Amino acid sequence: MCGIVGYLGNQEAAEILVDGLKKLEYRGYDSAGIAVYDGENSKILRSVGKLSELAKLVDTNQPVGVVGIGHTRWATHGKPCLDNAHPHSDCTGKFVVVHNGIIENYLHLREELIEEGHKFISETDTEVLAHLLEKFYDGDLVKAVQKTVATIKGAYAFLAFTEHEPDRLVAVREDSPLVVGLGEGEQFIASDIPAILKHTNRVYILNDGEMVDLSRDAVKLMTVKGEPVKREILTVDWNPEMAEKSGFEHFMLKEIHEQPEALRRFLTGRLNEKGVHLEELNFTVEELRKYSKIFVVACGTAYHSGLVGKYVIEQLVRIPVEVDIASEFRYRSPLIDKSTLVIVVSQSGETADTLAALREAQGRGARVVAFTNVVGSTIAREADQVLYLRVGPEIAVASTKAYTAMLMAFYIFALYLGQIRETLGSEDLAKAVSAIKEIPAQIEKIIVNNEEPIKQFAERFTQFEDAFFIGRGVDYAVAMEGSLKLKEISYIHAEAYAAGELKHGTLALIIEGTPVIALATQKSIYEKVLSNIQEVRAREAWVTAVALEGDEEIKKSADHVLYIPDTLELFTSILAIISLQLLAYYASKLRGCDVDQPRNLAKSVTVE
């Protein structure tokens, strides 16, 4: 997830671009750059690292010009380095682009363009856009963009400029956000409203399959096929703090709502009609078939995703999986060798305990696959293979969208292994792929249906200091993550138990009014969970259940029911957690806690 900003008007562009990028740095901070047209040439300034490095470069060079484009990068294709930083240009330097998203067929296009004589500088997918514009340009930038869009596949938003038409900016959107800001004799464009709100609160929001042609005095909206689009101007009524969070009160709530978009981005290019396609993993078929055991090693929320992954991989691939807390892994002399595959999971890619476990595993001869969110992180560099989460920067300390992406990583990796090791038939694989494709829309439905009811009964949580989460099978793993979310941001003491273990001691803590959150999404053990719910109800606990739509029986046993859409049993985890994230958020907010920065915690744990 990267940040795009553009300006065309009568003011100096560089200052406006850098200021806009500062509001978008949450979208990426691996590198940044701007291109400003000075009347003769496009001057491109780029830097690696946080935006402050670019700001210093701009102060030193002081580019002059009233039209320009800028970008802050969160790397997907190519490591964070100067050559890979945006903006990118073509062979002539006359066409400049910035881009957010993924061009799925860039390798094929790159090869074609090289054969035609184009020379590439970077490792990025973005650079093909500049060369395609050069190839297709015949005097009209809009038409060149339209021909480029007809050639590429993927999810993207890109903004283009050419010195041949210096009073024009053209942008297009497909599955990545773009907002046009309307001024007097000047126009703005960005990935998000905060980047332009300082200058205007009158905006157009582009939809998928739409593009915009900007000049100083006109804004032309159209489809990518050139059909005119009419849209009412939206007047934004946000204060600066609200703008940073796109109108949400906290980053955590914003990130909960971003999960459908984040998961769609994760899946882009990784599912096709034949099943799962993971071109970034270069295992041989023989290698994947030789592994006799898998270890999953992680900490905290990532560890909980591994517990779900264990169930999914063992069910679909029929290979034993052990899940270890990374801080304990090295000290138990794990029984691993060349026939063992190790999966390490870390949002930041810098978690010290997980990095130590990675090195321990490699030292014992195992191959390591990393599931991580940050390109260029230490874990990403040192792992043998990497599957990136692609959720963009996660600002709130309590992980939400990274966690659901971790679950999705385990889902598709299990299917990937299953199809290669032939433990999954074509019909079962097709059903699983179909179910996974529905998950982003199902999460949107959960948020719409459950957020208001959760707001209301979360008020009751303000009086509690203890809560219990119970579940069986994969629901137990979800209960562990739900309890972690509640305690880390609301400071309510919360514990998760395998529901069948209640009678072995924990029932002593259940008294009248004790809140119990019971997960009942597994049809194969549903009756067992109902019995466990009755055990706590007999002690007058206050029960909230998470269950599948259409389950009327659960209402007889629970005080509240939060429903999730029906899906394949192994995939309910990613749906069930959404309501628990919302519960933790609203409980924390109502208790007056610092939701985004809970006490004593940090986003990236870089000490053992």
Active-site annotation, residues: 2, 603
User: Pick from 326, 321, 303: which is nearest to 311 by CA?
Assistant: 321
Give the start-end residues of each E strand in 64-168: 67-73, 88-89, 95-103, 154-162
Phi, psi of 113, rounded to the nearest 5 degrees = -65, -40
For every residue of 191-240, which 3-state class applies, written as one string?
Answer: CCHHHCCCCCCEEEECCCCEEEEEECCEEEEEECCCCECCCCCEECCCCH
Supply 283's token pair: 């295992």
User: Pick from 90, 83, 46, 45: which is nearest to 65 by CA?
Assistant: 45
What is the per-residue burial (b if ≥16 Cβ within 10 Å, else e) of 328-360?
ebbeeebebeeebbbbbbbbbbbbbbbbbbbeb
Supply 507's token pair: 């029932």
What distance lies between CA 100 and its chain's CA centroid? Answer: 13
Phi, psi of 563, rounded to the nearest 5 degrees = -90, 145
Beta bridge partner(s), residue 271:
276
Tell me which residue has tokens 């560099």.
Answer: 381
Please state whether beta strands 3-8 and 67-73 pair in parallel, antiparallel, or not at all (unpaired): antiparallel
Beta bridge partner(s), residue 497:
470
Please state, in angstroms and rounded to a whole number, the distance separating the CA atoms of residues 224 and 274. 29
Phi, psi of 399, rounded to the nearest 5 degrees = -75, 135
Please state, in angstroms and rounded to a whole number, the distance separating the CA atoms of residues 594 and 493. 16
Q: What is the CA radius of gyration of the chain?
A: 25
Q: Is 41 helix (H, G, I), strand (E, B) or coil?
A: coil
What distance lies between CA 246 and its chain's CA centroid? Answer: 16
Cβ burial of 140 (10 Å; 0-12, 13-18, 19+) is middle
Phi, psi of 481, rounded to the nearest 5 degrees = -70, -40
Beta bridge partner(s), residue 223:
210
User: Pick from 37, 55, 50, 70: which is nearest to 195 by CA?
Assistant: 70
